[in-house]
Amino acid sequence: MLLLSTACSHPTLGKLVGSDRDEHGCISSAGYTWSYALHDCVRLWEVGKRFDSGPHQVYLVFSTDSTFAEIFAANREASIICKRVKGKNTWKPSKGREQVSINNGITCVQVNDYTYTQKD
């Protein structure tokens, strides 16, 4: 009994799975990440469109009203928020060269000097 209680209180055992909440309350060990476009913790593979035909895996998430498109690139620490250009099917960030566009049923995501495309 003494050995069991000593093992349970050992400081090197680490944190419990699920105790890794970020500043938004998202649990990354469960696959959740914060989406500024949706204002919620999401699993990208459940809500995003996946692009993996380029050098890095990219996910694209649109806000419910399509005002914002959010780009999640595997080689970037933070997502990129793009706002829709009035009257067009194009989304651009306030600064930077990234872009999202939809033309003739094809979605294009420009990020890291590469254009990912996918037919809808």
Q: Which tens digits make up the pLDDT trace of 48-106?
A: 999 988 899 999 999 999 999 999 999 888 999 999 999 999 999 999 999 999 999 99
The answer to whether residues 71 and 98 touch, using CB atoms and an 8 Å cutoff, is yes
pTM for the full model? Answer: 0.82
**Residue 113 in domain:** yes
**Number of domains into which the chain is organized:** 1
**Residue 3 in domain:** no
**116: its two tokens:** 């990912």
Give residue 112's Cα distance to chain centre: 15
**What residue numbers bound the domain in which 105 lies?**
18-119
Distance between CA atoms of 89 and 111, rounded to whole angstroms?
Answer: 17
pLDDT of residue 17: 57
Name the more confident of 86 and 5.
86
Q: Which residues contact 103 (CB under 8 A, 6 or more apart)?
A: 89
Reduced to 3 states, what is the DSSP secondary structure of residue 40? strand
**44: its two tokens:** 């990208």
pLDDT of residue 20: 80
pLDDT of residue 22: 83
